[in-house]
A and B are shown apart, each in its own frame.
Chain A
Amino acid sequence: SQKIEQNSEALNIQEGKTATLTCNYTNYSPAYLQWYRQDPGRGPVFLLLIRENEKEKRKERLKVTFDTTLKQSLFHITASQPADSATYLCARSAGAGSYQLTFGKGTKLSVIP
Protein backbone atom coordinates (compact mmCIF):
# COMPACT_ATOMS: atom_id res chain seq x y z
CA SER A 1 0.00 0.00 0.00
CA GLN A 2 1.08 3.58 -0.55
CA LYS A 3 2.14 5.12 2.73
CA ILE A 4 2.75 8.69 3.72
CA GLU A 5 4.59 9.70 6.85
CA GLN A 6 4.90 12.95 8.70
CA ASN A 7 7.54 12.09 11.24
CA SER A 8 7.27 15.18 13.41
CA GLU A 9 4.13 15.11 15.49
CA ALA A 10 4.75 18.60 16.79
CA LEU A 11 6.91 21.58 15.92
CA ASN A 12 7.35 24.73 18.01
CA ILE A 13 8.76 27.80 16.37
CA GLN A 14 9.31 31.43 17.25
CA GLU A 15 7.17 34.03 15.51
CA GLY A 16 8.87 35.45 12.45
CA LYS A 17 10.95 32.34 11.75
CA THR A 18 10.45 29.90 8.88
CA ALA A 19 8.65 26.68 9.74
CA THR A 20 9.63 23.60 7.73
CA LEU A 21 7.45 20.48 7.83
CA THR A 22 8.42 17.16 6.27
CA CYS A 23 6.36 14.57 4.46
CA ASN A 24 7.84 11.26 3.26
CA TYR A 25 6.18 8.69 1.04
CA THR A 26 6.87 5.08 0.15
CA ASN A 27 6.85 3.11 -3.09
CA TYR A 28 6.34 4.96 -6.32
CA SER A 29 6.03 8.71 -6.55
CA PRO A 30 2.48 9.95 -6.56
CA ALA A 31 1.39 12.13 -9.45
CA TYR A 32 0.88 14.92 -6.94
CA LEU A 33 0.95 15.76 -3.27
CA GLN A 34 -1.49 18.02 -1.48
CA TRP A 35 -1.11 19.97 1.74
CA TYR A 36 -3.98 20.85 4.04
CA ARG A 37 -4.38 22.82 7.24
CA GLN A 38 -6.60 21.48 10.04
CA ASP A 39 -7.68 23.48 13.05
CA PRO A 40 -9.06 21.72 16.16
CA GLY A 41 -12.59 20.43 15.62
CA ARG A 42 -12.65 21.55 11.99
CA GLY A 43 -12.29 19.93 8.59
CA PRO A 44 -9.05 20.10 6.61
CA VAL A 45 -8.61 23.15 4.41
CA PHE A 46 -6.69 22.85 1.14
CA LEU A 47 -3.52 24.90 0.88
CA LEU A 48 -1.31 23.76 -1.99
CA LEU A 49 -0.91 21.04 -4.57
CA ILE A 50 2.39 20.14 -6.19
CA ARG A 51 2.76 17.82 -9.15
CA GLU A 52 5.47 15.20 -9.54
CA ASN A 53 7.18 17.19 -12.30
CA GLU A 54 7.23 20.41 -10.27
CA LYS A 55 10.15 21.01 -7.96
CA GLU A 56 8.59 23.91 -6.10
CA LYS A 57 5.28 25.73 -5.68
CA ARG A 58 4.60 29.00 -3.87
CA LYS A 59 1.56 30.80 -2.54
CA GLU A 60 2.08 33.94 -0.51
CA ARG A 61 4.17 32.87 2.54
CA LEU A 62 3.84 29.18 1.73
CA LYS A 63 6.25 27.09 -0.29
CA VAL A 64 6.14 23.38 -1.10
CA THR A 65 8.88 21.28 -2.66
CA PHE A 66 8.74 17.79 -4.15
CA ASP A 67 11.88 15.66 -4.30
CA THR A 68 11.26 12.36 -6.06
CA THR A 69 14.78 11.14 -5.31
CA LEU A 70 14.37 11.54 -1.57
CA LYS A 71 10.65 10.64 -1.80
CA GLN A 72 9.92 13.72 0.22
CA SER A 73 7.94 16.94 0.22
CA LEU A 74 8.84 19.93 2.37
CA PHE A 75 6.31 22.54 3.39
CA HIS A 76 7.63 25.94 4.43
CA ILE A 77 5.87 28.85 6.10
CA THR A 78 8.00 31.98 6.06
CA ALA A 79 7.61 34.84 8.53
CA SER A 80 5.44 32.58 10.69
CA GLN A 81 2.67 34.11 12.79
CA PRO A 82 0.73 32.78 15.79
CA ALA A 83 -2.30 32.49 13.46
CA ASP A 84 -0.36 29.85 11.52
CA SER A 85 -0.62 27.53 14.52
CA ALA A 86 -2.54 24.46 13.35
CA THR A 87 -2.01 20.88 12.24
CA TYR A 88 -0.70 20.53 8.70
CA LEU A 89 -1.56 17.42 6.73
CA CYS A 90 0.19 15.97 3.73
CA ALA A 91 -1.83 13.79 1.35
CA ARG A 92 -1.17 11.67 -1.72
CA SER A 93 -3.31 9.72 -4.12
CA ALA A 94 -3.75 6.17 -2.86
CA GLY A 95 -2.49 4.59 -6.06
CA ALA A 96 -2.59 4.51 -9.82
CA GLY A 97 -6.09 5.21 -11.09
CA SER A 98 -7.34 6.07 -7.61
CA TYR A 99 -8.54 9.52 -6.63
CA GLN A 100 -8.89 8.83 -2.94
CA LEU A 101 -6.38 10.66 -0.79
CA THR A 102 -4.16 8.98 1.77
CA PHE A 103 -3.34 11.43 4.56
CA GLY A 104 -0.40 11.60 6.87
CA LYS A 105 -1.03 11.96 10.57
CA GLY A 106 -0.08 15.61 10.44
CA THR A 107 2.37 17.90 12.17
CA LYS A 108 1.03 20.22 14.84
CA LEU A 109 2.71 23.59 14.44
CA SER A 110 2.79 26.05 17.31
CA VAL A 111 4.10 29.54 16.58
CA ILE A 112 5.18 31.21 19.79
CA PRO A 113 4.87 35.00 20.01
Chain B
Amino acid sequence: EPEVTQTPSHQVTQMGQEVILRCVPISNHLYFYWYRQILGQKVEFLVSFYNNEISEKSEIFDDQFSVERPDGSNFTLKIRSTKLEDSAMYFCASSSGTGLSPLHFGNGTRLTVT
Protein backbone atom coordinates (compact mmCIF):
# COMPACT_ATOMS: atom_id res chain seq x y z
CA GLU B 1 0.00 0.00 0.00
CA PRO B 2 1.36 3.46 -0.86
CA GLU B 3 2.61 5.44 2.09
CA VAL B 4 3.82 8.88 3.05
CA THR B 5 7.53 8.93 3.82
CA GLN B 6 9.34 11.51 5.92
CA THR B 7 13.01 12.27 6.39
CA PRO B 8 14.89 12.50 8.61
CA SER B 9 13.24 10.50 11.37
CA HIS B 10 15.17 12.51 13.98
CA GLN B 11 16.66 15.97 13.73
CA VAL B 12 18.60 17.73 16.46
CA THR B 13 19.38 21.40 15.93
CA GLN B 14 20.53 24.39 17.90
CA MET B 15 18.24 27.28 18.66
CA GLY B 16 18.28 29.85 15.89
CA GLN B 17 19.25 27.38 13.18
CA GLU B 18 17.19 26.65 10.10
CA VAL B 19 15.76 23.19 9.53
CA ILE B 20 14.04 21.62 6.57
CA LEU B 21 11.80 18.64 7.07
CA ARG B 22 11.08 16.55 4.02
CA CYS B 23 8.11 14.50 2.95
CA VAL B 24 7.13 12.43 -0.05
CA PRO B 25 3.32 12.28 -0.16
CA ILE B 26 1.36 9.52 -1.85
CA SER B 27 1.85 10.02 -5.55
CA ASN B 28 -1.71 10.60 -6.75
CA HIS B 29 -2.74 12.76 -3.81
CA LEU B 30 -3.44 16.44 -4.38
CA TYR B 31 -3.68 17.86 -0.85
CA PHE B 32 -0.76 18.07 1.51
CA TYR B 33 -0.55 18.96 5.17
CA TRP B 34 1.82 19.47 8.06
CA TYR B 35 0.75 18.72 11.61
CA ARG B 36 2.81 18.69 14.76
CA GLN B 37 2.55 16.96 18.12
CA ILE B 38 4.39 18.22 21.15
CA LEU B 39 5.20 15.35 23.50
CA GLY B 40 2.07 14.32 25.40
CA GLN B 41 -0.11 16.85 23.59
CA LYS B 42 -2.67 16.84 20.79
CA VAL B 43 -1.90 16.55 17.12
CA GLU B 44 -2.14 20.17 15.90
CA PHE B 45 -2.72 21.49 12.40
CA LEU B 46 -0.06 23.73 10.90
CA VAL B 47 -0.80 24.18 7.23
CA SER B 48 -2.53 22.74 4.18
CA PHE B 49 -1.30 23.05 0.62
CA TYR B 50 -3.08 22.57 -2.67
CA ASN B 51 -2.35 23.54 -6.25
CA ASN B 52 1.04 24.94 -5.27
CA GLU B 53 -0.23 27.32 -2.66
CA ILE B 54 -1.19 27.41 0.97
CA SER B 55 -4.93 26.90 1.39
CA GLU B 56 -5.13 27.17 5.19
CA LYS B 57 -2.74 27.81 8.03
CA SER B 58 -3.01 27.94 11.79
CA GLU B 59 -1.80 30.56 14.24
CA ILE B 60 1.22 28.36 14.92
CA PHE B 61 2.34 28.73 11.32
CA ASP B 62 3.93 32.17 11.63
CA ASP B 63 6.54 33.89 9.48
CA GLN B 64 9.23 31.50 10.70
CA PHE B 65 7.53 28.64 8.85
CA SER B 66 7.27 28.05 5.14
CA VAL B 67 6.29 25.16 2.89
CA GLU B 68 7.29 24.27 -0.59
CA ARG B 69 6.68 21.64 -3.21
CA PRO B 70 9.95 22.00 -5.12
CA ASP B 71 9.24 19.21 -7.58
CA GLY B 72 6.52 16.70 -8.39
CA SER B 73 7.19 14.48 -5.41
CA ASN B 74 8.62 16.32 -2.40
CA PHE B 75 6.85 18.54 0.09
CA THR B 76 8.98 20.41 2.60
CA LEU B 77 8.52 22.37 5.81
CA LYS B 78 11.15 24.94 6.65
CA ILE B 79 11.61 26.57 10.03
CA ARG B 80 13.88 29.56 9.57
CA SER B 81 15.10 30.22 13.09
CA THR B 82 14.18 27.43 15.46
CA LYS B 83 13.07 28.04 19.03
CA LEU B 84 13.08 25.65 21.95
CA GLU B 85 9.29 25.45 21.77
CA ASP B 86 9.49 24.14 18.20
CA SER B 87 10.63 20.81 19.62
CA ALA B 88 7.93 18.34 18.60
CA MET B 89 7.06 15.51 16.26
CA TYR B 90 6.19 16.90 12.84
CA PHE B 91 3.84 14.85 10.71
CA CYS B 92 3.30 15.22 7.00
CA ALA B 93 0.00 14.01 5.58
CA SER B 94 -1.67 13.82 2.21
CA SER B 95 -5.16 13.15 0.92
CA SER B 96 -6.81 12.54 -2.42
CA GLY B 97 -9.48 15.12 -1.71
CA THR B 98 -10.74 17.29 1.10
CA GLY B 99 -13.45 16.88 3.67
CA LEU B 100 -14.52 13.27 3.46
CA SER B 101 -11.11 12.04 2.33
CA PRO B 102 -9.04 10.56 5.15
CA LEU B 103 -5.54 11.81 5.83
CA HIS B 104 -2.60 9.50 5.28
CA PHE B 105 0.16 10.38 7.71
CA GLY B 106 3.85 9.71 7.61
CA ASN B 107 5.66 8.47 10.71
CA GLY B 108 6.99 11.88 11.49
CA THR B 109 10.24 13.71 12.12
CA ARG B 110 11.16 14.19 15.74
CA LEU B 111 12.69 17.67 15.98
CA THR B 112 14.71 18.51 19.06
CA VAL B 113 15.88 22.09 19.49
CA THR B 114 18.63 22.57 22.04
Contact = CB atoms under 8 A, between A and B. Distances in A.
A101 B103 contact: yes
Interface string B73-110: 00000000000000000010100001110111111101
Given A98-B56, A99-B31, A105 B42 contact: yes
Interface residues of A, number: 25
A97 to B, nearest CB: 9
Contacts of B12: none
B58 interface: yes
B28 interface: no
B65 interface: no
Nearest to A106: B42
A43 B107 contact: yes
Contacts, number: 55
A74 interface: no
Interface string A19-57: 000000000000110100010011111100101000000
Interface residues of B, number: 25
Nearest to B102: A46
Interface string A81-108: 0000000010101100011111111100
A44 B91 contact: yes
A26 B56 CA distance: 22
Contact of B100 (A49, A98, A102): A49
Interface of A: 31-32, 34, 38, 41-46, 49, 51, 89, 91, 93-94, 98-106
Interface of B: 4, 31, 33, 41-45, 48, 55-56, 58, 91, 93, 98-100, 102-108, 110
